[in-house]
Structure 1
């Protein structure tokens, strides 16, 4: 009788699949008849293997104006992370800041390309900060949203330090900081909000697992399959009466890496931590832009404005909705996720 595979093994296989494909490309390229044809394929596949980035991308350029800056910051020499910061052109007043946390198999350059960060920031009039996970901290470049408490706490503290540093140096609006991320980055964005709720005006997660639901790889796999829930009592005690920032969740309904049940769990977590304040019942509507995937929006209101929003995108897998073509974990056919996030964020502080 064949042994049954544990569910979490399949989850990690899905997320690591691009690395396996890269390895296959190396083998195929090595077998080609001419070195001239094999060279580019080998170089690309080798870069994928060495960097842990599924689609290595050149540093973002400033074709539309503004400027990109690269820096390193953290809690000391042994706890530093690289980051990219985009500042749009022609703005004199202090800007809001959107913190974008990439997913596994990505870095700041590839995620900037996937989300069209610079173009959206110019249109919205905000700065964009993209911290970058070090391969030394996680071989797959995943943010450590689960694990032993000291590991998760350190990861969150490093990101908080980067945000505060950037706001201070560039005179950005510390009262208008928003955090969001994809997959592991989405789970990390919500982890940040649960640890430092006063730091953010609103937060969001795209295709992310529900935070504070796992302390091991096995548990994380179950959480990603939608089989674990966070302990609300412990989180309520940690918050100590502090108010959580508004939340927006975006998830595809055919995501096979992180089950869409995680979107529901994240919403339930936020609504549960709002007690004794009660949000109004969810109000739903549907929308579609041309030939793009349709999506459904459900709002839970507090003080007559949306406080928690869930966006379900039909036909979207484990990918950034409306992302750039030829990028891993990106689906150009979906509605533009960063625009959806920004509309919600703007409404939260209007």
Structure 2
């Protein structure tokens, strides 16, 4: 009898904890049915194709070939544009694309939504799949899409599971916060209405950004992601993805409101992660059920003062995909309720005080 993917990954986790990385890599390769990209990089892939890169390295801008160097930062734009740019901070350099809605005027104070793609995606793919640029054109806000590099993570994942990328002032959180502030300054963004959302690894990083920079992000959206602090290495990351996060740090009292989407058939990131992100010690104050193509259950959570602080959407029958997304993007589920529209509703109802 051939071992299942789950059994192979469980054994790979045991071998990693025991320090036998060579044997663990061989098992992961067996589970994937394909070669691991590097002798120093092991990749775990689910049967739905999502990836988590277990080792990552930072490559400084001067070490990159000219063809891989990010574009120069965009100048403030007039009229609808999808502009390339880049940001360099102490943790390195990342390219980005910025959507500027039509009719933008210099000095106009618009909201900003930071969108963090999932593994193997890029800004263009994520914009197509979520339809966020179309929403920005209709409602009048900026959308910033950072691009993870293959040099920082060979699968294009944000490094949510590494300790140095989970703290304020360190690693990718510092880089993404700095990029956000750069765009805010260039475009005169309304500082009370800056938000962050992400899918999968991007969702996990969005949760980290919310916990590390509550003075910057007014609200957070997490789709098919994991709580901040859910993992600190490969074994704990695989365990959290497989069966849910264990004990995670309690959110700070000033943590921003959060909206969570998760499919209950997600075989890549266990759905219990979504509930853990939203609940965070609060009791659900209201539950509703409905159907927008797929049936869903929405729980609303309130803090001790009765303020609504979180929403948790469970999309029934959905897998690891952006609910209500467009078919021309990857990891989308057009049948589900529109996660982009609901996140924007939640964001704009929660400006930072």
TM norm. shorter chain > 0.5: yes
Residues 211 and 230 of structure 1 are in contact (CA less than 8 Å); yes or no, is this contact kept in structure 2? no
| 1:282 equivalent in alignment to 2:285 | yes
Q: Shift of residue 5 of structure 1?
A: 2.0
Contact 2:289 2:296 in 1 (8 A): yes
Q: Work out whether residues 250 and 311 of structure 1, in 8 Å CA contact, stay in contact via their aligned partners in 2.
A: yes
Tell whether 2:221 aligns with 1:204: yes
Contact 1:143 1:184 in 2 (8 A): yes
Residues 197 and 15 from structure 1, CA distance in 2 versus in 1: closer, same or farther, beyond 3 angstroms?
Answer: farther
Instruction: Please say if 1:293 is aligned against 2:304.
Output: no
Which secondary structure state, in structure 1, belongs to the residue aligned with residue 310 of structure 2?
A: strand
Identify if the C-alpha distance between structure 1 residues 125 and 305 changes in structure 2 by more than 3 Å, giving closer, same or farther.
farther
User: 1:34-183 alignment to 2 at 5 Å?
Assistant: 66-76=80-90, 79-92=92-105, 93-149=108-164, 153-183=170-200
Structure 1 position 150, deviation (Å): 5.8
Of stretches 95-104 and 339-348 in structure 1, the one that deviates more from structure 2 is 339-348
Count of matched residue positions in the alignment of Structure 1 and Structure 2: 289
Local SS of the residue matching 1:94: coil
- Which consecutive residues of structure 1, in runs of 5 or more, have no partner in the other structure? 20-50, 52-64, 273-278
Identify the residue that residue 44 of structure 1 maps to in structure 2.
none
Q: Report Cα offsets for 1:246-268 as digits up to 9, x if no partner.
A: 01010011000001010111123
Q: CA RMSD in A?
A: 2.5
For the structure 1 residues 139 and 15, does the alpha-carbon distance in structure 2 shift closer, same or farther, using more than 3 Å as the test?
A: farther
TM-score (norm. length: structure 1): 0.76
1:198-277 pair list within 5 angstroms: 198-232=215-249, 239=252, 243-269=254-280, 272=281
Match of 2:8 in 1: 5
2:327 corresponding residue in structure 1: 325
Q: Distance in 1 between matches of 2:284 and 2:47?
A: 35
Q: Which has the higher helix share?
A: 1
C-alpha distance in 2, partners of 1:319/1:111? Answer: 11
Whole-angstrom CA distance in 1 between matches of 2:314 and 2:166: 31
SS of the counterpart of 1:199?
coil
